[in-house]
C-alpha cells in the first residue's frame, strides 16, 4: 500500500452540510407541492427525491481511498471500485481533489469515465498523492 486516507465531506464541512440539509428540505417542500398538491401524483415526488438524494449520497457517507502498486481502490459503504494505473492517461487537480482521466488530455467525459479522488479535510495526503500520481501516471495538467 502506497497511500490511504478517508474523506467525509458532511463531517469535514459542517456549515456547508447544514446549508445543504436546509436546501434539501426546501426542495422537498417545493417538489411535494408541485407533484402532490398540483399534479396529484405522489409517485413523481418519491422518484424526484430519490434521484436528488441518490446524487448527494457521496457527500453524506465516508469514502476510503487506497493507492497501491496495482492501482486505485475507492471504497464507499457498500461499493468498492478498483482501477488499474494503466486505465489512466493523465490527471489534474483542483482545490478539493484530483481527477484521474482515462484520456491523454483532460476531457468533458472525465466525470463519467475517470476517477475522482477527493482530499480529506486536512489535506495531509495531498503532496504524497501528487508524487505517487506523477510516478504512476506521469502527465499532470
What is the pLDDT at residue 75? 97
What is the pLDDT at residue 101? 97
Contacts 24+ apart (CB under 8 A), 126-132: 128/3, 129/3, 129/67, 129/98, 130/93, 130/98, 132/2, 132/3, 132/67
CB of 120 closer than 8 Å to CB of 11: no
Per-residue pLDDT tens digits for 81-126: 999 999 999 999 999 999 999 999 999 999 999 999 999 999 999 9
What is the pLDDT at residue 110? 95
How many residues does the structure list for the chain? 141
What is the pLDDT at residue 132? 97
What is the pLDDT at residue 16? 97
What is the pLDDT at residue 72? 98
What is the pLDDT at residue 63? 97
Per-residue pLDDT tens digits for 26-67: 999 999 999 999 999 999 999 999 999 999 999 999 999 999
Q: What angle do CA 69, 61, 73 make, to 5 degrees?
A: 10
Per-residue pLDDT tens digits for 8-23: 999 999 999 999 999 9
What is the pLDDT at residue 84? 97
What is the pLDDT at residue 102? 96
CB of 42 closer than 8 Å to CB of 92: no
Amino acid at each position: 500500500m502506497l497511500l490511504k486516507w478517508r474523506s467525509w465531506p458532511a463531517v469535514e464541512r459542517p456549515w456547508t452540510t447544514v446549508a445543504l440539509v436546509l436546501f434539501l428540505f426546501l426542495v422537498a417542500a417545493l417538489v411535494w407541492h408541485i407533484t402532490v398538491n398540483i399534479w396529484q401524483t405522489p409517485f413523481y415526488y418519491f422518484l424526484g427525491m430519490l434521484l436528488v438524494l441518490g446524487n448527494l449520497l457521496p457527500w453524506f457517507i465516508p469514502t476510503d481511498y487506497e493507492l497501491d502498486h496495482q492501482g486505485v481502490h475507492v471504497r464507499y459503504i457498500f461499493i468498492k471500485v478498483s482501477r488499474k494505473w494503466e486505465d489512466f492517461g493523465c490527471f489534474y487537480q483542483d482545490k478539493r481533489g484530483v481527477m484521474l482521466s482515462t484520456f491523454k488530455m483532460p476531457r468533458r467525459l472525465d466525470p463519467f469515465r475517470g476517477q475522482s479522488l477527493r482530499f480529506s479535510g486536512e489535506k495531509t495526503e495531498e503532496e504524497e498523492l501528487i508524487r505517487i500520481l506523477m510516478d504512476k501516471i506521469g502527465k499532470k495538467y
